[in-house]
Amino acid sequence: MDENTMPAVEVQDTDLLDKDQYECAFHLLPTIADGEVSRVVGEIKKIITDHQGDVFEEEEPQRFTLAYEMTKAIEGRSMHFTSSWLGWVRFSLSRAMLEGVIMEINHRNDIIRHLTIRLTKAEVLNPQRLFEKRSEPATVAVGDKDAEASGEVSEADLNKSLEEITV
């Protein structure tokens, strides 16, 4: 191969090859009003797009009770929080630009804490939602209601109910 000929692999768009997929999960201050949360998320997404990133998925923040108290220094005072608005955004970005995004997010006073991770291909294809609505568990009636109240169920009723729920 001479200097003017490149293998096909090297001719690919290097901009796409340099972008990784990330998820930034964040706890916003609980003092942010319900109507203002989407504005704050929009500002986080703008930080990403200002650094040539592309936001491709998000979960709108929901109120969340923390497992332990978090502390954040705001205007020279230590503030303690037991709840927050918890949400996340997923985006693609070159590794070289990631540090700038993290630095800008670090300087925001309305974010208690955040974590940015690089996603695997499997994680990109199968996002896990924190506040996904789950359906009610199915209930199965077993036998006579009076017998159930007394705690007694005949073996025949039990077998019949098991046959109904098994395929």
**158 and 86, same domain (yes or no):** no
Cβ pair 85, 37 in contact under 8 A: yes
How far is 148 from 145, CA to CA, in rounded Å? 5
**93 and 165, same domain (yes or no):** no
Provide the total of helices (H) and of strands (E) in the chain, helices listed first: 6, 4
Would you state the pLDDT for residue 6? 46
Q: What is the CATH number of the domain that holds 101?
A: 3.30.70.60
pLDDT at 106 over 90: yes
pLDDT at 11 over 70: no
**84 and 152, same domain (yes or no):** no
Span 40-53, average pLDDT: 97
Owning domain of residue 150? 135-167
**67 and 148, same domain (yes or no):** no
Instruction: Tell me whether residue 45 is in a domain.
Output: yes
Instruction: Tell me whether residue 10 is in a domain.
Output: no
**61 and 143, same domain (yes or no):** no
Report H helices in the chain: 14-17, 37-50, 95-106, 121-125, 145-150, 155-165
Would you state the pLDDT for residue 9? 40
pTM for the model: 0.67
Range of weakest confidence among 15-24, 59-68, 84-93: 15-24
**89 and 142, same domain (yes or no):** no
When pLDDT is cut at 50, 70 and 90, the band that residue 110 belongs to is very high
Instruction: Tell me whether residue 75 is in a domain.
Output: yes
Would you state the pLDDT for residue 128? 81
Would you state the pLDDT for residue 140? 45
**48 and 92, same domain (yes or no):** yes
Q: Which two tokens stand for residue 140?
A: 């199965």
Calculated CA dihedral for residues 118, 102, 52, 24, nearest 10 degrees = 50
